[in-house]
Structures are given as C-alpha cells and as structure tokens.
Structure 1
Amino acid sequence: MEEQKRNSGELRTWLLLAGIALILVAAGLIAFFISGGFGGVEEEVTFQVFFEKIGENIWWVLGSLAVMAAGIGILFYYNRKKDAELSRSAWTIREIAVAALCIALAFVLSYIRLWKMPNGGSVTAASMLPILLFSYIYGMRKGLLAAIAFGVLQFIQEPVFLNWMQFVLDYLLGFGVLAIAGAFRRSLYPGMGLACLARFFCSFLSGAIFFGEYAPAGQSAWIYSLGYNASYMLPEAIICIAIALIPAMRHNIESLKTQAMAKAVK
C-alpha cells in the first residue's frame, strides 16, 4: 500500500514537472522568435515591438502556444489524478488558489512604483513580498513555481530579451530564487534576506555581463552593476522585511504556516 502511494506521488510529481517544463519551453520559444529568432536582436524588445514580432513569426508562435496548451493540459490531468490522500508534494485546491492570489497581488504591486531607474528596475510597493510569504508558508518547491510564474509575468509586463542567458538571469532564475524563503521555515527573516540577496546577485550578474555598456566611461561594468542594482534592490528588500516585521502581520504569517505544515503531515 505504501509502495503504491509512493509511486502515485512520484507520477503526480513527474506530471507536474512535465507540464511546467512544456509551458516554460513554449514561453521561451515565443520570447525567442518575437525577439528576432535566429537572426539575433538589433533592438530592445519594447511592448510595441513585442506584438509586432508576433505577426512576423505567427506560425512559430502558434506552434509554441500549442506546446503551452499541452503543458496546461498535463497540469489539469495532474490535478484530476489525485488519490483520496494527498502526498506532501501534491497541490491542494486551496494552495493553488492562494498561489494564484499571491502571484496576482505581486503583479499588481509591481505596477505601484515608488521610483523607477533609468535603465530598468524600480522600487515597488513590496511586490516581492507575496511570493516570499507564499514560499515561507508552503515551502520552497511550491514557492518556486509561484516565483517563476511571477517572473514570466514580469517579462510580459516589460519584455527585454537579448539572449537566453539574460532571460534566465533576469526572469526565470532572477525571480525563481525568491522561493529560497521557503528553505528557512523556522524563521522568516533569514530566508527573506537570503532570497533578496540571491535576486540581487542574479540582477548584478545580468547587469555586468549584458548591460555593462551603460556604465560611465572609465568605470568597471561590475562596479556599475553593483551600485546600480543595489540602489533599488536594497530599498525593495528593506520595505518587504519591514512590512513582515509588523507584529500583526508576523502573527498571521506564522499562523498560516503552522496550519499549512499541520495539513502536510496528515
């Protein structure tokens, strides 16, 4: 019986990973072809250019959307193929709803900018906080999916695609690392701090490698990227941690985490 439950849990996990992989591959293909395909990129992919290039590569985009639809279909099948007792790795309907709510809230907050940097990046109204809290409450694995989904939405909001490495550093890995908050479930703040530091590191690498041309004459691209990204990442991290430090907020977060962990062990 235990062996059967374990195999069923593994099957659901593989279905989940396969569905997510197809969706991410499709999103990457769409980004690749609308940014110039194999011919390279000669201009920054602005919101207007984004839609213009969809028409230029319509069949590739439709094919990619078909792959994405297959991934979504697998995810629906995954949710239907659940035993009476869920394994720890399975998603409950409540967790899916909370994840969707956190992603949507983070996306809305990302539009509330306290100030915007000239070459990308901005200080927002704690847009990372919903993802950080979701990861802390429900764990790193589930938080990773929410964080990557938020990263894809950030790309849609202001698409900049120079090459695959930049796309991964700025969007997939750059936001995916927010899930690190779920690795420290005994205390929220070390995880939040490390997650914000990891996000800064991804942006720092991307800025130095791909956007070093914006550095002032005579200044190292690495020094420029360090100062530039710290100027908005640090205030953003401080805002997120400060809100989480509010006593009532902290109490509710810990209560939700305790409930989530209690249900996971049943």
Structure 2
Amino acid sequence: MQNHRLLVLVEGAIIVAFAMALNYIPHTVGVSAIEVQFGLIPFGVYAMRRGLLPTLAAGLVWGLLDMFLRGIPGGSVLNATQGILEYPIAFTVVGLGGIFAANFQHALKRGRKGSAAVLLVLAVTVSGVAKYFFHFIAGIVFWGSYAPKGQPVWLYSLIVNGGSAVASILLAAVVLVVLLQIAPRLYVPER
C-alpha cells in the first residue's frame, strides 16, 4: 500500500514537471491573448490513470509552480485574489477529468477503445472548461481594462478565454485519442 502511494506521488510529480516544461513552449495564438494549454495532455493521461484526487492534488502543485515560476515574475499576478483564482484554483480543477477514470479503465479492460476514447474526450472537455471558467471570471473582474473600447468586458473575456479553452481542449483531445490508439498501456496504471 505504501509503495502504491509512492508510485502515484512520483507519477504526479513527473506529470507536473512535464506540464510545467510544456508551459515554456510558446503557446499564444496570433496577436490576441488566446493561449493553448499543452499541460492538459499529460494531465489527461494522469487523470485516466489515477483518478480524481491524485489529479486534483497534482493540479494544485502545477498551479502553484506556474504562479511562482511564471505568473509573478511575468507580471500576470495582479493581486492575491486574482493570483489564487487563476493559478491554484484554475489549475487544480484540471483534475476534474479524473471523475471518468473508473469508467475509462473499465472500457479499456473490456477492449472498448471507442467508449474509452469518448470518455477521454469528455474528461479533457470537463477539465478544460472548468479551468477556463475561472480564467473567464478573472477576465471579467481583473482584466477588463484590456477589452477594446466599446466591447463589453464579459464578451472580451469570453472570446479570449473561450478561444483558449476550445483550442486547448481540441489539441488535447486529438493527442490523447491518438495516444490511446498507439500506446494504450500509457493509460494503464501500474499496481
């Protein structure tokens, strides 16, 4: 039992490190603030391997690391409330995709890759929508001054954060489903 916990913890640390490394790849699309979050890919794998609680914990660590290594030094943290909302909270909820892990593992064991793929896409959609919901709220409350003159703040936040969510979810879903087809063992947890 102790070895199992250690294995889950080590996997989580590797996933967080991988997601952080991916954050250093340029990921802003065009002249807008639309960003593709590559970290949803390793978190999608981890969520399906380990489930809800380990992925939520890993997301919290990822959010804290991103805040201290990129957010604060990059000027993306305006105040404590905004920083907590857009980093620890928004990154933690990426773990919500883990609610589909048991059904995903069941489908995978039964050889139903189609059902597993649907669950995988559903999981990454829930994760991405949850993350960008908090960015959307922060965009309205804290980043409204960046909205073009005459454009409602909520619409500006929806365009930027909704566009980021759609781009991130689509990329992650495609990559995760391809990985499921070519390397299904990646999703099977070691016991």
- 1:1-266, aligned counterparts within 5 Å? 85-86=1-2, 92-115=5-28, 122-124=35-37, 126-155=38-67, 156-159=69-72, 160-185=76-101, 186=103, 187-246=119-178, 247-249=181-183, 251-254=184-187, 256-257=188-189, 259=190, 263=191
Aligned equivalents of 2:45 and 2:36: distance in 1?
Answer: 18
**After superposition, what is the alpha-carbon deviation per residue over 1:26-84, rounded to whole angstroms, capped at 9, x for unaligned?**
xxxxxxxxxxxxxxxxxxxxxxxxxxxxxxxxxxxxxxxxxxxxxxxxxxxxxxxxxxx
Tell me how far 1:91 sits from its aligned partner.
Answer: 5.9
Equivalent residue number for residue 116 of structure 2:
none
Q: 1:112 to 1:103 in 2, by over 3 A?
A: same
Q: Using the alignment, how far apart are the partners of 2:10 and 2:186 within structure 1?
A: 17
Task: State how far apart, in whole Å, the 2-side matches of 1:127 and 1:183 are.
Answer: 18
Measure, in 1, the Cα distance between the counterparts of 2:48 and 2:84.
Answer: 23
Distance 2:27 2:149 in 1: 29
Residue in 2 aligned with 1:60?
none
* TM-score, length basis structure 1: 0.58
Larger Rg: 1
Q: Could you tell me which runs of 5 or more consecutive residues in structure 1 were left unpaired when the two chains were aligned.
A: 1-84
8 A contact 2:32–2:160 mirrored in 1:
no
State the Cα distance separating 1:116 from its structure 2 match: 5.1
Q: What CA RMSD, in Å, does the superposition of the two structures yield over aligned residues?
A: 2.1
Per-residue deviation at 1:239? 0.9
CA contact (8 A) 2:40 2:124 kept: no
Query: Kindly tell me: are residues 189 and 108 of structure 1, through their superposed partners in 2, closer, same or farther at Cα, counting changes over 3 Å?
Result: same
| Aligned partner of residue 36 in structure 2, secondary structure | strand
Distance 1:151 1:184 in 2: 22
Q: Is the 8 A contact 2:23 2:39 kept in 1?
A: yes
Question: Counterparts of 1:145 and 1:120 in 2: how far apart (Å)?
Answer: 28
5+ residue gaps, structure 2 = 104-118
1:174–1:203 contact (8 Å) kept in structure 2: yes
8 Å contact 2:71–2:77 — kept in the other structure?
no
Partner SS, residue 245 of structure 1: helix
Distance 1:189 1:239 in 2: 11
CA separation of 1:112/1:241 partners in 2, compared to 1, >3 Å: closer, same or farther? same
Q: What count of residue pairs does the alignment treat as equivalent?
A: 169
Alpha-carbon distance in 2 for matches of 1:129, 1:196: 11
Instruction: Give 3-state SS (helix, strand or coil) of 1:113's partner.
Output: coil
Kindly provide the CA deviation profile for residues 87-144 of structure 1, in whole angstroms up to 9, marking residues without a partner as x: xxx96222222111111111111111243576756225x2221123212211111111
Cα drift, residue 149 of structure 1: 0.7
- Given that 1:133 and 1:253 are in contact with CA atoms closer than 8 Å, whether structure 2 keeps it comes out as yes
* Contact in 1 for aligned 2:44/2:176 (Cα 8 Å): no
What SS class does the counterpart of residue 184 from structure 1 fall into? helix
Deviation at residue 153 of structure 1 after TM alignment: 1.5
Query: 1:121 and 1:145, CA in 2 relative to 1: closer, same or farther beyond 3 A?
Result: farther
- 210 and 119 in structure 1: CA distance in 2 versus 1, 3 angstrom threshold: farther
Q: Is the 8 A contact 1:133 1:181 kept in 2?
A: no
